């Protein structure tokens, strides 16, 4: 196994998009940031130097961080932010994960431009369980704001309303042909006739689930969130923010140029929907060259599902399976039920109207089990936990919602107001955990991509409506459920996940729609140390940033 050393300099960089030059925050001047390539078993050592004017942290999305929770990255959960002028070296080993992950800033909305791919290949000498691809290309789907994304979310927090939607979707940082001033930078992905090509698709958008497709080509899905899947064929995939999907395509079409394209899956009625589409071009290298000076022949346009096509999104999620019999826990020690959804705060009487610009003069909020998570501000949860510092968080996060109601029905206003708090749920090392994630209809019904740090979990069932223990338990797939780190809880529905809590630390669980984290759709799972060093969190590194 190798040790890979990298320097990440977080800095302000001029980036030209949509006809204008912007000051964007980048890593090493690159947008998207550098791609990290490792093998399973390798160690990554990334020295992050902050030369920007914002606090920053970097999260290694999906990396298990076994016993190295200090390197996980979410600000005020596992570390204090790296201040301007400061630095911190993240050091961790990849243990038993293969496929596509990514890294991103985990501080305010910096991840809009501070992100990159993290590719994990099998250990030396181990091959993929599918035909070896001739080429591999990361496809990072993103969102671009003309305004400074930090200002966008600060403004929304000030007014209590929804943040402005992005100005473009992007593929590898480029909006593509269909946007103004973007054509000449459209990303081109080469392919040869007869070639097998692995696309490592990552949804790094802040706030949008996205459909992705390539004109005339079929995908063979082989992995998701750095776990292999039983291969299956589809022409479209759907990813929530945070999720990755590995697909094979074959150069089996007439040599030409074909668009690959992404656009939102956004089932929420009345939610902001931008009907634009980001594109890149799949180009056969043997395609006839355009005559000199003539316009390049228009690429073939794919058909994308409609923005509210829940059937297609659901069919895709339900096609994912582990390759063989999976070691899903069958006995459960921690049986948890978490609601996930939005809410509204009535406006405090001393607030001016311009701070109450949510629906009907309220302020937007979001919660799990009616608790709207508040980040600590001068110490991380993990540090307070390990050093026994009181007053930072409490461990009374409820195992079940405090009030049971018709989660997907019309809900009385009295249930709309969550209680702000920094509450964690504590569990013993090795606990076998089941969490029923129940979406609520409060304020708006929509998918919530729920991400758990420090773990992969099995998605044993998903469904619509209210979870019914009598009838739905019988539908659990304990044979070959997919393993992921982010589950899209279906609109007006639920998902059930299972895992073994064998990684001690403080692990953030949150909706990966960034505006929902801002509004409090999060909690923390505290996993105690087990017996001996191999079941205990390592001590923090010497350069661990303090507040």
Q: Which residues bind ligand C2O (CB under 6 A)?
A: 59, 61, 74, 104, 106, 242, 451, 453, 508, 510, 512
Identify which of residues 260 and 521 has a Cβ nearer to ligand C2O in the complex. 521
Closest contact distance (angstroms) between CB of 180 and ligand C2O is: 30
Identify which of residues 242 and 401 has a Cβ nearer to ligand C2O in the complex. 242
CB 222 within 8 A of CB 247: yes
Where do we find the tokens 């995939």? 237
Rounded to whole angstroms, the Cα distance separating 302 from 143 reads 20
SS3 340: strand
Closest contact distance (angstroms) between CB of 165 and ligand C2O is: 20
Q: How far is CA 479 from CA 10, 333, 468, 475, 486, in A?
A: 44, 20, 21, 11, 20
Identify which of residues 64 and 453 has a Cβ nearer to ligand C2O in the complex. 453
Closest contact distance (angstroms) between CB of 416 and ligand C2O is: 25
Closest contact distance (angstroms) between CB of 508 and ligand C2O is: 5
CA 543 to the chain's CA centroid: 27
**Tokens encoding 264:** 């939102």
Closest contact distance (angstroms) between CB of 118 and ligand C2O is: 11
Closest contact distance (angstroms) between CB of 339 and ligand C2O is: 19
CA 528 to the chain's CA centroid: 25
CB 200 within 8 A of CB 226: no
Rounded to whole angstroms, the Cα distance separating 499 from 144 reads 35
Instruction: Indicate if the alpha-carbon torsion angle 81, 87, 93, 98 is positive or negative.
Output: positive
Tell me how crowded residue 475 is: count the other CB atoms within 10 A of its CB.
12
Instruction: Indicate if the alpha-carbon torsion angle 481, 483, 488, 489 is positive or negative.
Output: positive
CB 171 within 8 A of CB 260: yes
Tell me how crowded residue 231 is: count the other CB atoms within 10 A of its CB.
16
Identify which of residues 106 and 263 has a Cβ nearer to ligand C2O in the complex. 106
Where do we find the tokens 């890149």? 280
Closest contact distance (angstroms) between CB of 442 and ligand C2O is: 23
Closest contact distance (angstroms) between CB of 59 and ligand C2O is: 5
Identify which of residues 35 and 346 has a Cβ nearer to ligand C2O in the complex. 35
Length of the chain: 547
Identify which of residues 59 and 423 has a Cβ nearer to ligand C2O in the complex. 59
Identify which of residues 347 and 437 has a Cβ nearer to ligand C2O in the complex. 437
SS3 413: helix
Identify which of residues 22 and 510 has a Cβ nearer to ligand C2O in the complex. 510
Identify which of residues 94 and 328 has a Cβ nearer to ligand C2O in the complex. 94
Using CB positions, name the residue nearest to ligand C2O.
61
Rounded to whole angstroms, the Cα distance separating 247 from 250 reads 10
**Rounded to 5°, angle at Cα 161 from 378 and 140:** 75
Closest contact distance (angstroms) between CB of 330 and ligand C2O is: 29
């Amino acid at each position: 196994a190798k040790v890979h050393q990298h320097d990440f300099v977080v800095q302000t960089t001029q980036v030209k998009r949509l006809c204008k030059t912007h000051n964007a925050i980048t890593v090493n001047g690159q947008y998207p940031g550098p791609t990290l390539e490792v093998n399973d078993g390798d160690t990554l050592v990334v020295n992050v130097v902050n030369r920007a004017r914002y606090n920053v942290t970097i999260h290694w999305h999906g990396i298990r961080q076994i016993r190295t929770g200090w390197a996980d990255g979410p600000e005020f959960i596992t570390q204090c932010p790296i201040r301007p002028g400061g630095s911190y070296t993240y050091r961790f080993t990849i243990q038993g994960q293969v496929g596509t992950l990514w890294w991103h800033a985990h501080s305010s909305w910096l991840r809009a431009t501070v992100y990159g791919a993290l590719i994990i290949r099998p250990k030396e000498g181990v091959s993929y369980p599918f035909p070896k691809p001739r080429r591999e290309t990361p496809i990072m789907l993103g969102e671009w704001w003309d305004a400074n994304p930090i200002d966008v979310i600060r403004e929304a927090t000030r007014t209590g309303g929804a943040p402005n939607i992005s100005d473009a979707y992007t593929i590898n940082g480029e909006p593509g042909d269909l946007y103004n001033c973007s054509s000449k930078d459209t990303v081109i992905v080469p392919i040869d006739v007869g070639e097998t090509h692995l696309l490592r698709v990552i949804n790094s958008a802040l706030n949008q689930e996205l459909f992705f497709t390539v004109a005339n080509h079929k995908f063979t899905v082989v992995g998701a969130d750095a776990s292999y899947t039983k291969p299956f064929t589809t022409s479209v995939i759907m990813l929530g923010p945070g999720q990755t999907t590995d697909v094979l395509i074959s150069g089996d079409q007439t040599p030409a140029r074909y668009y690959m394209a992404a656009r939102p899956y956004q089932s929420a009625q009345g939610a902001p929907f931008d009907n634009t589409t980001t594109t890149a071009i799949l180009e056969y290298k043997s395609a006839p060259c355009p005559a000199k000076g003539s316009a390049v022949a228009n690429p073939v346009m794919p058909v994308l599902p409609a923005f509210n096509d829940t059937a297609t999104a659901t069919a895709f999620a339900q096609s994912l399976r582990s390759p063989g019999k999976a070691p899903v826990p069958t006995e459960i020690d921690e049986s948890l039920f978490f609601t996930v959804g939005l809410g509204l705060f009535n406006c405090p009487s001393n607030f001016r109207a311009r701070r109450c610009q949510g629906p009907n003069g309220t302020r937007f909020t979001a919660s799990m089990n009616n608790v709207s998570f508040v980040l600590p501000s001068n110490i991380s949860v993990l540090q307070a936990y390990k050093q026994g510092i009181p007053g930072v968080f409490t461990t009374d996060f409820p195992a079940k919602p405090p009030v049971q109601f018709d989660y997907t029905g019309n809900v009385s206003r009295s249930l709309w107001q969550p209680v702000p708090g920094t509450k964690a749920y504590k569990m013993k090392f090795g606990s076998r955990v089941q969490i029923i994630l129940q979406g609520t209809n409060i304020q708006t019904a929509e998918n919530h991509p729920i991400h758990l740090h420090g773990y992969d979990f099995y998605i044993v069932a998903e469904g619509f409506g209210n979870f019914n223990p009598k009838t739905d338990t019988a539908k659990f797939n304990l044979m070959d459920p997919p393993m992921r780190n982010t589950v899209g809880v279906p609109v007006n529905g639920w998902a059930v996940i299972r895992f073994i809590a064998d990684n001690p630390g403080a692990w953030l669980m949150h909706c990966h729609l960034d505006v929902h984290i801002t509004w409090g759709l999060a909690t923390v799972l505290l996993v105690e140390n087990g017996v001996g060093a191999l079941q205990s969190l390592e001590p923090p590194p010497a350069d661990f940033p303090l507040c």
